[in-house]
Structure 1
Amino acid sequence: MGRTAGRDPEQTRAALLDAAAEVVRERGISATLDDVARRAGVSKGGLLYHFASKHELLLALAREWLERFRVAVLAAVDPADDAPGRLVRAYVRVSVHEALDAAATRDALVLLAHLSSVEAITDLARADALRWQEDLRADGLPQDVLALVLAAADGVSAQPVWGMEPAPQELERLRDRLVALTYAEG
């Protein structure tokens, strides 16, 4: 099978990453390149053109998920907000917003759990977490406020994994309260 009609290389790459996410969620990292290629509607050779190995595909998938979150947070920074904690507020808004879609959150966390069994991906995630830690600490909030707000935002974003699906109004109130804490005097 040649290049998939109607798709440019970037679209094909995106389709492969989407297919990989689906297949890994369903079968874990034991999923094969054939499974991914079939799901994306490309040949295995077409997949290997974009990703030389399963390891490379899994790393690219993890990078994409981590980068997608970073881009969403940076896009959520309010340009009119110049008070300390503006990045933290964006992080909270994105984390709580993602928790509103419980099924998507569950899917993302299941995928990330499977991917975290690959040592190179764990290293990648650890480096990303350290980068977030550095960026958020430099955002100007007192450390205790930062720790409390991040723990709550991260915790609420993981609730769907455990079957907890707070009402949207509950999540919006929590988001607003966490954001308000970032403005409180330390």
Structure 2
Amino acid sequence: MGRTAGRSTSDTRRAVFEAASTVFRTRGPAATLDDVAREAGLSKGGVIYHFPTKDHLVVGLAEALLDDFRDAVHAQLDPADEQPGRLTRAYVRASLVDTDLVAARDAYALIAQLITAPAVAEVARADARRWREELGADGLPDAVTALVVAAADGASVAPLWGAEVDDAEHARLADQLVALTRDPDRWVGPSPS
């Protein structure tokens, strides 16, 4: 068992999330809090202190994954970019540029396991609504935003289906999608006045 004394609450929660990621990705819904505790090097009571039930842990893990992606998008915001589509371009970069394809595949496999829980599905729907609102307010025509986000999402999950996508290919796609956000009228025509 790993040493846990001296860990902060956030460090312990992160350790539980890392262990839960491995356990739920490999065992699916059959995974137990005992399994997570063993993987984290904690007692079951140590896990329950932070997550009273398996459902709490599953929802917390899903929220952490969604928050991590949101943080990755915001980290990609270019402070010098003040043009419409700034957030959409950051979304593309977070999805396709400098991504660890193995980690991305594992994350999507985990999400596929977690989404079977109704509470997680609701968290995911709420997150999707939030993205639609934020990206919808990004100043691009809706058709361009929908196309760019769908392409970035689709390409980022391709490794889950066994696609061999390399960094250069992702970078080219990201460049093309970013170009689309910089000249949307070329693709969809001018916005109605």
> CA RMSD, aligned part only?
1.4
TM-score by length of 2: 0.91
SS of residue in 1 equivalent to 2:16:
helix
Matches within 5 A, 1:72-111: 72-97=72-97, 100-111=99-110
Residues 1:35 and 2:9 are matched in the alignment: no
Partner of 2:156: 157
Distance 2:142 2:8 in 1: 47
1:12-71 CA distances to partner (integer Å, 9 max, x unpaired)? 111011100100001002101000001000101111111111110111000000000001
How far the C-alpha of 1:185 sits from its partner, in A, is: 4.3
Contact 1:59 1:121 in 2 (8 A): yes
Equivalence map 1:122-161=2 (5 Å): 122-161=121-160
Distance 2:175 2:50 in 1: 43
CA, structure 1 residues 31+77, in 2 after alignment: closer, same or farther (shift >3 Å)? same
Instruction: Determine if contact 2:96/2:156 at 8 Å carries over to the other structure.
Output: yes
1:83 Cα shift? 0.2
Q: CA deviation at 1:97?
A: 2.5
CA contact (8 A) 1:73 1:91 kept: yes
Unaligned runs of at least 5 residues, structure 2: 186-193
User: For residues 13 and 168 of structure 1, what CA distance do their matches in structure 2 show?
Assistant: 32
* Unpaired segments ≥5 residues, structure 1: none
Instruction: Tell me, yes or no, if structure 1 residue 173 matches structure 2 residue 179.
Output: no
In structure 1, what is the Cα distance between the partners aligned to 2:134 and 2:9?
33
Q: How many residues align?
A: 184
Deviations 1:75-106 (A, max 9, x none): 111111000000000000000026x4221111
Aligned to 1:12: 12
Q: Is the 8 A contact 1:102 1:165 kept in 2?
A: no
CA–CA distance in 1 between the matches of 2:21 and 2:167? 27
In structure 1, the partner of 2:46 is 46
TM-score w.r.t. the length of structure 1 is 0.95
For residues 87-126 of structure 1, what are the alpha-carbon distances to aligned partners after superposition, in whole Å with 9 as ceiling and x for unaligned? 000000000026x422111101110000000001000000
Moved over 3 A (4+): none
Share of identical aligned residues, percent?
Answer: 55
* Equivalent position SS for 1:117: coil
Matched AA of 2:26: E
Letter paired with 1:153: A
Moved more, 3-12 or 34-43: 3-12
